Structure 1
Amino acid sequence: MKIEREHTAAIVIDYQEKLVPAMSGKEGLIENSSILLAGLCTLDVPVFLTQQYTRGLGTTVKEIREAARTEEFVEKIRFSAYEDVLKECPSIQEKKYIILCGIEAHICVLQTLIDLRAHGYIPVLVTDCISSRKDTDKEMAILRAQEEGAVLTTYEALLFELLGAAGTEESKKIQRLVK
């Protein structure tokens, strides 16, 4: 099964000011996620940001907003982003593959993934663009995601899969991003 960009969207979960500092490997998380999001924007893949209880946890960190090229977000209080994103961004219903990245891997990311799978989507978990406070929670989230039928990948593998071929302006932009 090949992930095709025209059938793909991304949900970017809760990279918020008060959450990010507590994440394991936060520098790598932000760097990898920024490359992923810039690449998705280059490839015209729709990107939807979420924020969990913004009043208490703050807004999405600047690096993620800039890479995603948006200030818009879906507010949520449920751990799963599925219902709120579907309600606020109905165009996602037309997609087959939903890329997931964000925090915390074992809570909001995993619950969103489970709901997406239950509703017939193919969740694509970008394992180097997720984190939790504890590494063991992230590891268990990845194992559970695999059991739930998610596609596991890395940001670089995914961007090149969505790209499909070299020799284009898009491919040059993607190659510059990942170097």
Structure 2
Amino acid sequence: MTTPSSDSPNSAAATTDAALADTLLMCVDMQPVFVRAVAEGTSIQKRCAFALAAARGLGMPIIFTEQVPDKLGATDPALRALAPDAPVYPKRTFSVLADAATRDAILADGKVQHLLLCGIETSVCVYQTALAAREHGLEVTILSDAVSARRPDDARACLEALARAGVHVLPSETIFYAVLHDVKHPFFKAYTQLVKAAS
């Protein structure tokens, strides 16, 4: 779990206009075989669970991806249970958007303008998916506390490179508070309970 250096161009202000109508949370390859392999896997799993619970509570669209699930297994069942109706996209490419059918399913109607990414691995699938999404004109935010890699130094370098490429790299709590805007939001009290439970 790493974040860019303090001189990163990202700031909380960059995504305070996050809107539910055009924002999608993509949970990338949270399969047990990968969770066990990355640094702080258990912590990342908990932070992904937090992000999924927050997104679901807000009514934000959610999708899961799985890398070669027929060989590497499905998404962790506890995470799937947090968004049981969310579509799951199996893949063999590293970038989720490299597969034309998957890309069209996610982007064809033009509704998605802002992509939130959590999952693994920061230096492979998350990195390539974030860059591809930027190439397709999307705003992209990496939930910095909900991504990881086998080598923390690799993850850090990739997050810094993504920040330079215009990707926002911010903690999940910050992003969801930005979506709420203020304490009058109907999900605010439930969200603060999620925050406390995850602390």
Question: Under a length normalisation based on structure 2, what TM-score does the superposition of the two structures give?
Answer: 0.84
Contact 2:47–2:145 at 8 Å: present in 1 too?
yes
- Partner of 1:74, secondary structure, is strand
Contact 1:37–1:68 at 8 Å: present in 2 too?
yes
1:69 CA drift (Å): 3.2
Matched, 1:158 2:171: no
Cα displacement string for residues 10-50 of structure 1 (whole angstroms, at most 9, x for unaligned residues): 11100012111111001110111101110001111101100
1:2-151 to 2 correspondences below 5 Å: 2-70=17-85, 72-84=87-99, 85-90=102-107, 93-151=110-168
Matched, 1:178 2:158: no
Query: Separation in 2 of the partners of 1:159 and 1:63?
Result: 21
- Partner of 1:99, secondary structure, is strand
Report 1 or 2 for greater relative contact order, CA contacts < 8 Å, sequence distance ≥ 6: 2
1:128 CA drift (Å): 0.4
Moved more, 118-127 or 165-174: 165-174
Whichever residue aligns with residue 106 of structure 2, its letter is C
- Partner of 2:124, secondary structure, is helix
Moved more, 62-71 or 156-165: 62-71
- Partner of 1:40, secondary structure, is helix
- Partner of 2:32, secondary structure, is coil
Q: How many residues align?
A: 179
1:6 CA drift (Å): 1.7
Alignment RMSD: 1.6
Contact 1:20–1:26 at 8 Å: present in 2 too?
yes
For structure 2, the residue ranges without an aligned partner over 5 or more in a row are 1-13
1:66 CA drift (Å): 1.8
Question: Under a length normalisation based on structure 1, what TM-score does the superposition of the two structures give?
Answer: 0.93
- Partner of 1:130, secondary structure, is strand
> What does residue 4 of structure 2 align with?
none
Q: Percentage identity across aligned positions?
A: 24
